[in-house]
Structure 1
């Protein structure tokens, strides 16, 4: 009498083990490519995407890499040689990415920021609706200009005021952008006002419109702040990217008494300027900036829309709205957050602006965020990049009593 041997229960078949190793290997390859693109500049699109992925999902990918290692080790019992190769490869890739993430966290801590690793592994999304969205003026075409307001929470007296100018390449975005961050600033006891402005379009540059509109909003906020619980003597002007250019230009020209307002009056000088990846060297941006999310798409077309021409055609406009020509010793204290691998706003121009401001006597600080690209903080609330940006800015504001 013969009997048929049955496979032992719990034993993984060769086919299942092979599929598991393919999954682990694919995950390890993704982790490796991200780490390689971050650690080795100049790898084209790989480097560009890696420096977007690390701030958005770096800690998440570290966990993915660790899971790949554990899975490969477990499957070595069935496919020993292949399992060993995948386990070692996944381990090397994960270790490389850990180095990148640790260096980012170290830079954040060194700048006074903080990172919650659990939140960074599982960032979220959301929209913190403003408490109000009033109209503060009208554009040249009669369109209303809105200013979103987040009321201060926990303030025991007149609250510091943060006026924020949104980015979007002067052609997009709105006062409702970065809502979660602005709500967070308000939750720390500030009156936060985000201002819209007239956007550029083909054939309608707004280089002579957007700045005066931001100045008008600043004037209106200073007048209305007491009624909203804010302190008009403690206004900080903030902005990102194109909004950073506008914030620097308006604040610095207000400090020298040369900033005009679309609604008239004297433009108040902010107590501080808080900007991220600001387009403060417009010629450098025209010649060297491009969008990492759309390879081959340069920043030049945005600047042509905004300024109405090339640096050769309208050089006076490029000079008038760049950061360095606006510097005077009277400019407000300024914090600039600059990702080291920014491809849209070249880091060199940002560094030259800060160095020139410091040489002129301005209290200007540049915080470099490593392995990060343009808009590194916008790809997930609570992501590594978002926590870095928010916590460093919060530290600077608190340190100055704003």
Structure 2
């Protein structure tokens, strides 16, 4: 990790782009802006690419719509929010999960949002990233009937940093979504911020956690340290913002991954104290977010279906033909996380080299 430089960043970016291209070719071959048919293990689904939910010329505020070829009237929907440590990532990383849900008869709105890569690290990303997710959810709720979706049957699902943004977007109960799921979501940002020894207090000996959060990912996102802007950290921590109106929530986290289990437990406990319907899925091992899809997907979907009041979908068989596309997408997500870490290290070195 200590030898990472900008040359490594460029090489890793090329690897991610190449792998994402393989994933897209496998699952979604077609031109940008087009509507296409995609084959799944359960038949074909329709994908509409690059739908703007913000300004038409803003590629960071676009989404893809995945739906069954013949959706049932008033079908349920997921709004998917990708991860990337608030610094990167794209909705293409969630194509595999969009493919899974649409093959189960659900409509999926797979969302992009601007990150610190576009917004900078001086505070411009807060609250712009969560505001973009809120705008996407608002657009989905408003346009749900145009896509055959019942407005009362929409769930919001976020991975990693996307789970953090999703939790904040749904916290006050006014977003219009009726259920929430967060996987490996940072929920208490103070506990993930390095203290004087540069060891985040929330990592508690978790090596993967220490390596990731010893870098200023949160400070880059918020534009300051907890000492400089404690109120901003509280405003940006889901554990501080959830309310009695937060929708029923499914939480997943692995036991020894880069986002410590304590983050998931803290959110679970906060929601439970408020009387919110909440379920915590503990995944053994060190996989992060989308990487444990085979372990958590068939737990999450029945939870969301029951809270939305729709029929439970038939479980996914992860030994079937969808497994190849899923594994490619997981690999892309892992490389994307590595790229985010590399960028953070390079930025940190640049700051140190610049001096005080």
| TM tier relative to shorter chain | 0.5 to 0.7
Deviations 1:210-238 (A, max 9, x none): 11111111111111111111111211111
Larger proportion of strand: 2
Match for residue 337 of structure 1? 252
**Partner Cα distance (1:222, 1:167) in 2:** 22
Match for residue 279 of structure 1? 186
**Partner Cα distance (1:246, 1:294) in 2:** 20
Alignment check: 8 A CA contact 1:225 1:231 kept: yes
SS in 1 for 2:286: coil
SS in 2 for 1:273: strand
Go from structure 1 to structure 2 and tell me whether the alpha carbon gap of 1:370 and 1:291 turns closer, same or farther (over 3 Å shift): closer
Go from structure 1 to structure 2 and tell me whether the alpha carbon gap of 1:329 and 1:298 turns closer, same or farther (over 3 Å shift): closer
Match of residue 311, structure 1, among 226, 239, 242: 226
2:159 matches 1:240: yes
2:96 matches 1:180: yes
| TM superposition shift of 1:294 | 9.8
Alignment of 1:145-224 (within 5 A): 145-153=61-69, 155-200=71-116, 201-224=120-143
2:281 matches 1:367: yes
Alignment check: 8 A CA contact 2:60 2:114 kept: no
SS in 1 for 2:68: coil
Go from structure 1 to structure 2 and tell me whether the alpha carbon gap of 1:228 and 1:291 turns closer, same or farther (over 3 Å shift): farther
Alignment check: 8 A CA contact 1:274 1:393 kept: yes
Q: Compute the TM-score of the two structures, normalised by the length of structure 1.
A: 0.59
Match for residue 57 of structure 1? none
Of residues 310-319 and 290-299 in structure 1, the stretch that sits farther from structure 2 once superposed is 290-299
SS in 1 for 2:225: coil
**Partner Cα distance (2:238, 2:49) in 1:** 32
Alignment check: 8 A CA contact 2:65 2:107 kept: yes
Match for residue 54 of structure 2? 137
SS in 1 for 2:137: helix
Alignment check: 8 A CA contact 1:205 1:305 kept: no
> Structure 1: which 5+ residue stretches go unaligned?
1-124, 258-267, 379-384
**Partner Cα distance (1:349, 1:295) in 2:** 14
Alignment of 1:121-132 (within 5 A): 126-127=23-24, 128-129=27-28, 130-132=47-49
Match of residue 352, structure 1, among 266, 270, 275: 266
Provide the alpha-carbon RMSD of the alignment.
2.5
Match for residue 315 of structure 2? none
| TM superposition shift of 1:188 | 1.0
**Partner Cα distance (1:144, 1:374) in 2:** 24
Alignment check: 8 A CA contact 1:160 1:230 kept: yes
> Structure 2: which 5+ residue stretches go unaligned?
1-21, 29-46, 194-199, 311-356
| TM superposition shift of 1:203 | 3.0
Alignment check: 8 A CA contact 1:291 1:298 kept: no
2:301 matches 1:394: yes
| TM superposition shift of 1:297 | 4.1
Alignment check: 8 A CA contact 2:52 2:58 kept: no
Go from structure 1 to structure 2 and tell me whether the alpha carbon gap of 1:291 and 1:308 turns closer, same or farther (over 3 Å shift): farther
Alignment check: 8 A CA contact 1:160 1:235 kept: yes
Match for residue 263 of structure 1? none
2:243 matches 1:328: yes
**Partner Cα distance (2:104, 2:261) in 1:** 30
Q: Compute the TM-score of the two structures, normalised by the length of structure 2.
A: 0.66
SS in 2 for 1:155: coil
Alignment check: 8 A CA contact 1:146 1:175 kept: no
Go from structure 1 to structure 2 and tell me whether the alpha carbon gap of 1:335 and 1:270 turns closer, same or farther (over 3 Å shift): same
SS in 2 for 1:311: coil
SS in 1 for 2:133: helix
SS in 2 for 1:150: strand
Alignment check: 8 A CA contact 1:291 1:297 kept: no
Go from structure 1 to structure 2 and tell me whether the alpha carbon gap of 1:207 and 1:181 turns closer, same or farther (over 3 Å shift): same
**Partner Cα distance (2:181, 2:77) in 1:** 12
